[in-house]
């Protein structure tokens, strides 16, 4: 399959003599709990970021998926272009690929329901005109180096919502 070959080739690309996986693992501390703690650079909201492809930093759980599991498939259920990388361990800073799974937006909601946090999410953002936003997406918006209009286009979310998220006017509870 051509796509798979491309990914393999990308993963083998050396950077300062180290593969992407080696660069990533140098910044990971494996905890007794099984979670992988990120010790590398953080974005301004305190989330781990990693420059996987040498163009711009991305959130570390998404980088982890791309390194260990492969491509993040297109999300057919949402305007958001790819599926979400979600945490089964409920630790948003964890980068252990075994604690990550893919979900659509609905999957994210189901996951929240299962964890009993649905009411919390609704009260604090998801039903206040930001129906398309999720906590992981809010973190991605805040971590991204893209402009508001680029993000708006890529994620299918109104620019005004992205501005408000970045200024901390909405989704204040998401850190």
Do 15 and 54 contact (CB within 8 A), yes or no?
A: yes
Kindly report the number of other CB atoms within 10 A of residue 7's CB atom.
14
Tokens, residue 74: 């297109």
SS3 label, residue 128: coil
What is the smallest separation between the CB atom of 30 and Zn ion, expressed in angstroms? 10
Of 27-35, 66-74, 124-132, 146-154: span binding Zn ion (CB under 5 A): 27-35
If one asks whether residue 91 binds Zn ion (CB under 5 A), the answer comes out as yes
Tokens, residue 154: 């890529």
If one asks whether residue 68 binds Zn ion (CB under 5 A), the answer comes out as no
Query: In terms of CB distance, is 92 or 107 closer to Zn ion?
Result: 92
DSSP state of 143: H
Tell me phi and psi for residue 94, to 5 degrees.
Answer: -70, 140
Query: In terms of CB distance, is 49 or 96 closer to Zn ion?
Result: 96
If one asks whether residue 35 binds Zn ion (CB under 5 A), the answer comes out as yes
Beta bridge partners of 100: 87
Of 8-16, 98-106, 124-132, 157-165: span binding Zn ion (CB under 5 A): 98-106
Kindly report the number of other CB atoms within 10 A of residue 32's CB atom.
5
Of 29-37, 40-48, 101-109, 140-148: span binding Zn ion (CB under 5 A): 29-37
Q: How many alpha carbons lie under 13 Å from residue 37 in its C-beta half-sphere?
A: 6
If one asks whether residue 99 binds Zn ion (CB under 5 A), the answer comes out as yes
If one asks whether residue 101 binds Zn ion (CB under 5 A), the answer comes out as no
What is the smallest separation between the CB atom of 95 and Zn ion, expressed in angstroms? 8
Binding site for Zn ion (CB under 5 A): 35, 89, 91, 94, 96, 99
């Amino acid at each position: 399959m051509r796509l798979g070959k491309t990914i393999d080739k990308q993963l083998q690309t050396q950077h300062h003599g180290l593969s992407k996986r080696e660069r990533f693992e140098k910044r990971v501390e494996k905890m007794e709990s099984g979670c992988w703690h990120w010790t590398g650079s953080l974005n301004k909201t305190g989330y781990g970021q990693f420059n996987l492809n040498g163009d711009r930093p991305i959130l570390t759980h998404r980088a982890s998926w791309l390194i260990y599991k492969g491509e993040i498939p297109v999300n057919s259920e949402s305007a958001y272009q790819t599926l979400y990388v979600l945490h089964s361990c409920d630790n948003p800073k964890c980068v252990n690929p075994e604690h990550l799974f893919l979900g659509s937006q609905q999957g994210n909601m189901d996951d929240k329901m299962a964890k009993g946090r649905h009411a919390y999410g609704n009260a604090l953002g998801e039903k206040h005109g930001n129906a398309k936003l999720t906590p992981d997406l809010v973190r991605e918006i805040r971590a991204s180096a893209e402009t508001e209009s680029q993000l708006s286009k890529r994620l299918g979310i109104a620019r005004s919502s992205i501005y408000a998220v970045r200024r901390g006017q909405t989704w204040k509870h998401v850190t």
